[in-house]
Amino acid sequence: MPLAQVERVVARLVEMGARGVSLADTTGVANPLQVTRVLEHLMPRFPGVEWTLHTHDTRAMAIPNILAAMECGVTHFDASIGGLGGCPFAPGASGNVCTEDLVHCLHAMEIETGIDLERLIETSRRVQQIVGRTLPGQVAKAGPFTRRYPVPDGVALRLSRRAG
């Protein structure tokens, strides 16, 4: 959608009394530069508006887009457990940004969320069982960045020989 049209829609919403506006990328085509340009254009024109970003991870750009929005000062984001969701108007579009992947990213960057990541991962795994299919979230599969892996036996033996 052309930026001028987005601005007209936001202006109308603000005229009607909206105090918050959610910008949505429901087909997952946006990129961080585009997100930055849109927000840098709109935010000064509508001071006091609380901005939210709604992203889909169709092209693996949801979290980079959120990080770009954060750089602009946005602090509200839609997300869904396991990345559930989709867009009925865009065949092949994947779901929303995965909550646990986003929280994991923020925690890895030392950004406090107030969310217990381990419990969130447990919840995502439970939701997978309930819906009966694997969800697109990655952290529920791999675990958080703090997970440590055992050294394979052959490698451990070679390392011990070198050390001795």
Catalytic residue IDs: 87
Residue 153 phi, psi dihedral angles, 5° rounding: -50, -50
Per the DSSP assignment, residues forming a β-bridge with 54 are: 24, 78
Residues 6+ apart with CB under 8 A from 84: 95, 96, 127, 131, 135
Tokens read off for 69: 């929005």
Torsion angles phi and psi, residue 30, rounded to 5: -75, 160
